[in-house]
Amino acid sequence: MQSTSESPTLQSNVNFWLEPRTLVAYAVSLLALAEIIDLTIVAVAIPHIMGSLSANLSEVSLTMTSYIVAAAVCIPLTGLVTRKFGMKHVVLASAVIFGISSVLCGMSTSLNEMIFFRLIQGVGGAFLPSIAQSYISRSFTPQEQPKMMTVFSLCVVMGPIIGPVFGGALAENLDWRWCFYVNVPICIAGFLLIWHYMNNDKHDDVKIDYLSFAFMALGVGCLEYFIDEGNTNNWFDSMEMVIVLTIAVVLLIFFVWRGLLGKSVINFKIFKNTNFVLCCLSMFLFMLMASASLAYFPTMLQQSFGYPVDTAGYITAPRGLIAFIIAPIVAKLIGKVDARRVMFAGLLTFGIGCFMLSSYAPMVSQSYIICSMLIQGAGMMAFFIPIMQIVFIDVPQSLHSDISGVFNFFRNIASSVGTSLSSTIVSHQMQVTYHDMGAHVSPYERGYLWWSQNLAGVPQQSKIVLAQAQVMGQGALVSYLDSFFAFGCGMLLILWLPFLLKRPAAGAPVHME
């Protein structure tokens, strides 16, 4: 529990932004930003890492998988570790581990070193978003929380958006190692602010069920590995993937069994709250669709439209800019309008953005791309802010850390599922479209004959090679557009979910993710 000396008090607006608890909120929000950015910042630097570490794409992808698996295993333990060691001690230790492992990742000279240090980095960063959410929910009154919402939404919601921007800029202009070194000043600043201003809280004598932890860690780890590496290994066509999934299911069944006996590292009481369970489902489905539509968008810009890696990152920046601008507007709106209707509008708006992506032409204008980014960013904020208010309805403060950890777990694993789903759809559609379009590359096809008239003097075999290359490029674009259309339809299918949630009372607090 938060100490009484740190309990919220109403202050003047000027003093509020300089209060110790506000400075701590800045620090934990920035640390959460660093953790979330690291999920995406490395993706755009993969070609550089491959060359530096002499690894192929499949091998380098393990550096991302190890980070995600470690984070997925640790996130649900947030409530347990904060009760046992205290929130301040946990966040300070996380900042140190995350910062040191970031330096070690940047200094890696081999693939094995990188994978190991990324694993440690995932452990260090796992608790940061959940602790930030829990700290703000405990330390600010309902009247004060909207003031912190803009700062926190900027740091956390924009993490996956600005990650590719920073990653592309650093990899192109400096070195891929700076994608990791950039975390160091954030960790140092956050550590000093928290160490100086955050009060110690009480520790509880929590008994850890190590058998339950083993079931959960191994089960979630295997499940996350299956999700991240499934498409690379052809899913159920690979015996390795089938075995990994089977182990994950069996271990998680045993974990649930321990939880039903009351011997779990996660407090299963939170699942008695139907509203919380529905919020987790809503967050999972939304993040699945959102992550799937965002994951390979920069790649599409590079492959199909010829954008440089840094420009592909910059052109997605309006999505984050509009999210920051619209956050205070949404915060005021849900104080006057049913928050569930705002969530509905967010889902619908994001779905419209997906349909706009699916309508891109080979010569699409930058203004149209930016417009679709703005619409998606607005939709994300219109969904995120209300659900952070609704998820804590009828939840006692003693369970806030448990709620935060499990809620963040579903957000995190939904991102992995969405990315893998997007990869699977795109790769499958590439094969389908290539075979459909490639069948028409023949001297006997009227379309091919009309196209080849512009290549007078070019040998027939060279014409076929050029045509096949063009078909491959166009097939890739069609595959991306098909995936965007599918995820837009997915958003429309879950429009009804907000109205199953409880309606928050007027003036209820907003607990930002």
pTM of the predicted protein model: 0.81
Cα 241 off chain centre by: 24
Tokens read off for 467: 């045509």
If you search the block for the tokens 């993706």, which residue do you land on? Answer: 43
First vs last C-alpha separation in the chain: 20
pLDDT per position as a tens digit, 224-281: 888 877 877 788 888 888 999 999 999 999 888 888 887 777 888 888 889 999 999 9
CB 390 within 8 A of CB 504: yes
Reduce the DSSP state of residue 94 to 3 states and report it.
helix
pLDDT of 26 reads 87
- Please name the residues in contact with 380: beta carbons below 8 A apart, sequence gap of 6 or more: 157, 290, 319, 323, 346, 350
What mean pLDDT comes out for the span 383-396? 82
**What pLDDT does residue 147 have?**
66
**pLDDT surpasses 70 at 109:** yes
Domain 273-513: which topology? Growth Hormone; Chain: A; (1.20.1250)
Lowest mean pLDDT among 44-53, 202-211, 262-271, 447-456: 447-456
Mean pLDDT of 111-131: 89
Q: How far apart are CA 298 and CA 308, in angstroms?
A: 10
* Average pLDDT in the chain: 81
**Assigned architecture for domain 1-205:** Up-down Bundle (1.20)
CA-CA-CA-CA torsion sign (432, 416, 346, 304): negative
**For residue 191, what pLDDT is reported?**
94
What's the CA angle centered on 27, arms 512 and 108, to 5 degrees?
105
Phi-psi sector, 234: left (phi>0), alpha (psi -120 to 50), beta: left
Dig out the tokens for 226 from the structure: 């299956």
Instruction: Tell me the percentage of the chain whose pLDDT exceeds 90.
Output: 21
Per the structure block, which two tokens stand in for 317? Answer: 């920046």
Q: Is the pLDDT of residue 4 over 60?
A: no
pLDDT: which is higher, 95 or 446: 95
More confident residue, 497 or 438: 497
Can you give the pLDDT at residue 102? Answer: 92
Q: Tell me, what amino acid is at 55?
A: A
Question: Following CA atoms 126, 129, 130, 131 in sequence, which dihedral angle do they give, to the nearest 10 degrees?
Answer: 100
DSSP 53: H
393-448 pLDDT, tens digit each: 887 877 777 888 888 888 888 888 888 888 888 888 878 877 777 666 666 667 76
Residue 220 CB partners (closer than 8 Å, separation 6+):
69, 72, 73, 76, 248, 252
| Whole-angstrom distance, CA of residue 135 vs CA of residue 400 | 9
CA distance 460 to 458: 6
The b-or-e profile of 434-458 (16+ CB within 10 A means b, else e) is beebeeebeeeeeebeebbeeeeee
* CA distances, 266 to each of 217, 392, 426 (Å): 12, 17, 36
Q: How many helices (H) and strands (E) does the chain have?
A: 23, 0
**CB-based contact 49:176 (threshold 8 Å):** yes
CB 244 within 8 A of CB 225: yes
Contact 34, 186 (CB under 8 A): yes
Contact call for residues 53 and 167 (beta carbons, < 8 A): no
Residue 127, SS3 per DSSP: coil
- What b-and-e string marks burial along 344-368, b requiring 16 or more CB atoms within 10 Å of the CB? bbbbbbbbbbbbbbbebeeebeeee
Q: How far apart are CA 150 and CA 409, in angstroms?
A: 23
Query: What does the pLDDT look like over 453-487, one tens digit per residue?
Result: 666 666 767 766 676 677 777 778 888 899 999 99
